[in-house]
Amino acid sequence: MKIADTSVIDSSQPYLIAEIGVNYFDIAEKRDILPLEAAKEMVAEAAEAGVDAVKFQSYTAERLASKHSPAYWDTDEETTESQYELFEQYDKFSAAEFEEIAAWIDDNYDVDFMSTPFDFHAVDYLEELVPAYKIASADLTNHPLLRVIARKGKPILLSTGASTVGEIDDAIRVIEDEAPDPELCLLHCILQYPTDEANANLGMIDHLAEIYPEYPVGYSDHVPPDEGMITLLNAVVHGADIIEKHFTLDKTLAGNDHYHAMEPDDIRTFRENVALMSTTTGASRKEPIEDEADSRKHARRSLVAATDIADGERIDREQIAIKRPGTGIAPEHLDVVVGREARSDIAADEIIQWDLV
């Protein structure tokens, strides 16, 4: 599977998406700059930190939620108790703004521009801008939207938060009906904002890979980042080829998606840890490596004379010690040596070779 010019399978690093979402509005307010300026600043910071893609969200509150839709997030972190009210605060960007951002990225940074469409209108205006479509977990059962996206013929990243295997089966079937042999990646996700560490259930990545071997698997994360970015690293250990995580320039900002987002230094930490993990993983076939040659010879043990042994004397067990280095007869041959005659004088502490017995 490729997104733009990047292969996302069997790479030493996962394809990393910084989910800017709509966090730029809060950054703009804090810094007293325009939202478009804040969005570009966030893109720049994410790109310089080492992501492969930056992703936004394309929606309007009117198309997305009823005015009677209750919150499903932690209202201690995000106090807005209505989905409509929250989305209405952050739905001021549309085709023109995203076109400008995508063009600016293309001129300045080697990262992919992406945005999650939440309605048919957004799917259409993003068509010329994105190399792949991301479908949110909440829309996995929105088959009309899946069909429209699948007909575009682009790679699809499908989040699977809060879904059953049967619902995932149905979503895949809808996509495959419109686009046979699609480029599709299934993203394990927990639809809890924020996700408790104990709820991350990264073992589900293995299950998705087992039941859908024809498709790559990734992870969309909502766990607040730890100092070592261990949650994301663990996702890679479990085989995630694509990682998506919310991104901010200030985790201390209240509400929205800042409180479980990564900052630029978190990206750098994650990339460094994956590189180290890849380096230490090394070969998959168990065998001695070249740099163990001296250790094999000198750290292992040999049969050594515990006492002086005279020429022609029959060797008994008490006359044999087992010591380093391993340049003589190996200890596994102890029973072969005991009872044999010495062919010459053997001095105490001398390493016993086969020509001496």
pLDDT at 78: 85
* Residue 187 per-residue DSSP state: E
CA distances from 250 to 24, 26, 56, 116 (A): 10, 9, 17, 22
| Alpha-carbon gap, residue 54 to 326, rounded angstroms | 56
CA dihedral 142, 128, 184, 239 (to 10 degrees): -110
Q: Please write down the long-range contacts of 335-339, taking CB distance under 8 Å and 24 or more positions apart.
A: 337/303, 339/314, 339/315
**Which tens digits make up the pLDDT trace of 253-288?**
987 899 999 999 999 999 999 999 999 988 889 999
pTM: 0.88
**Residues whose CB falls within 8 Å of the CB of residue 310, separated by 6 or more in sequence, listed in order:** 342, 345
Question: What is the edge-to-edge ordering of all strands in the sheet holding 15-21?
Answer: 112-117, 53-58, 15-21, 242-246, 217-221, 184-189, 156-159, 133-135
| Residue 9: per-residue pLDDT | 86
- Report how far residue 248's alpha carbon sits from residue 253's, in angstroms, rounded to the nearest whole number: 9
Per-residue model confidence (pLDDT) at position 349:
98
What are the boundaries of each domain within the chain? 12-281, 290-356
pLDDT tens-place string over residues 234-245: 999 999 999 999
Taking Cα atoms as reference points, which of 115, 54, 70, 62 lies closest to residue 91? 62
What is the topology classification, in CATH, of domain 12-281?
TIM Barrel (3.20.20)
- The CATH architecture one would assign to domain 290-356 is Alpha-Beta Complex (3.90)
State how far the Cα of 53 lies from the Cα of 40, in Å rounded to an integer: 13
Q: How much is the pLDDT for 86?
A: 85
The phi and psi torsions of 53 (rounded to 5 degrees) equal: -150, 150
The predicted pLDDT at position 61 comes to: 87
- Interatomic CA distance for residues 337 and 321, integer angstroms: 12
Q: Which residues of the chain have pLDDT under 70?
A: none
